[in-house]
Structure 1
Amino acid sequence: MSTSHVLLGLLAAGPRHGYELKRAHDERLPQAKPLAFGQVYATLGRLERDGLVEQSGQDRDGGPDRTSYVLTAAGRAHLDAWLSAVEPPAPYVTSALFAKVVVSLLASGERTTTGYLVAQRAAHTARLRELTAIKTDRDAGVGDVVAADYAIAHLDADLRWLQTTLLRVADLHHEVNQ
């Protein structure tokens, strides 16, 4: 995820200060890793340096001074270009799950790998149930449901891969023992 692009998108709705941006990010992207305040302010500094946002004022509102930022015309053009660019499919397999299975096969053998695959499948299935519950919750917002749909699709793909890999490991074990 591009934090800078997400912040530009949040600023497209109007001026906000860092605290509001962090809160909006965490509310609008409920299944994403929450942003740290330091990350928000560092990103705003880079966006300001690059001319994509500018300070629009300060308010105190009963606490420390808060600087509000607004999207510039260059920032809007940058955001629009990013939004219209098609994301290429990932060229490499970079999953920790995939790496663990391969290393387990190399270092520990079939029995340990099979046990790991079964345990991982159980963990994925439990998470699938949690996400399905989110989708049926009447209080869930559209962001929650869209995030759950996205995660469910990825978990489903992982579960299919785990099952295929379990079968391949069993076939490999059978070939070796003949």
Structure 2
Amino acid sequence: MTVPLALLGLLEREPSHGYDLKRDYDAYFGRGKPLPFGQVYSTLGRLARDGKVLVGEAEPGAGPDRKRYVITDLGATEVQTWLAEPVEAEPHLQTVLFTKVVLALLLERDAEAYLDAQRAAHLQRMRELTEIRRSGQLVDRLLADHGLFHLEADLRWIELTTARLDALAAEVRS
């Protein structure tokens, strides 16, 4: 998900101040990685420049004056188009995992040790996500499920690659 489209989507729901947009973004999409305030306002500035949001006059608030942002028809059309487009099923055929394995083999380093360490890291993260599934709110549980499914796929790939390391080494070193 891109930050600009997420912010546009939140603005389509209702006009908001930057502070409120950050709070909502963090609540829905920023679990474990909150959006920096600077990124919120720089993104809103670009959206305004591109005609996708309008910036209202400064309003007094509990702290510094705040500006209310309103989505334009152009912004709403972009959100609608983005929501209707499916995400590519395989956006990254060459992952970081694959790149590290191939480089380890090219450099005649122990690719199997790297894969073992990666497996251990994945299993630890899976334990953490499993705990979230047990005790978290629905949004957190769904995000944990998504992460677990990806980690499971990575683990299957790690097992398959480990079994084929000798053949892969011969291929990339030839």
TM-score, scaled to structure 2: 0.88
SS at match of 1:81: helix
Aligned length: 170
- Displacement of 1:11 after TM fit? 1.0
Q: Which residue of 1 aligns with 2:165?
A: 169
Match of 1:150 in 2: 146
Alpha-carbon separation, structure 2, partners of 1:90 and 1:157: 13
When the two chains are superposed, the root-mean-square deviation of aligned CA atoms in Å is 2.1
Structure 1 position 7, deviation (Å):
0.3
> After superposition, what is the alpha-carbon deviation per residue over 1:123-156, rounded to whole angstroms, capped at 9, x for unaligned?
100101111111110xx23321221111111101
* 2:19 aligned residue: 19
Per-residue deviation, residues 44-87 of structure 1 (Å, max 9, x unmatched): 11111222111234332221111110112222121111100122
Secondary structure in structure 2 of the residue aligned to 1:136:
helix
Q: Secondary structure at the match of 2:34?
A: coil
Counterpart position of 1:40: 40
1:1-178 matched pairs, under 5 angstroms: 1-31=1-31, 33-109=33-109, 112-137=110-135, 140-169=136-165
State how far apart, in whole Å, the 1-side matches of 2:32 and 2:143 are: 8
**Counterpart Cα distance in 2 of 1:94 and 1:62:** 49
SS in 2 for 1:55: strand
| Alpha-carbon distance in 1 for matches of 2:151, 2:138 | 20
Aligned equivalent of 1:176: none
* Distance (Å, rounded) in 2 between the aligned partners of 1:60 and 1:148: 39
Conservation of the 8 A alpha-carbon contact between 1:114 and 1:169: yes
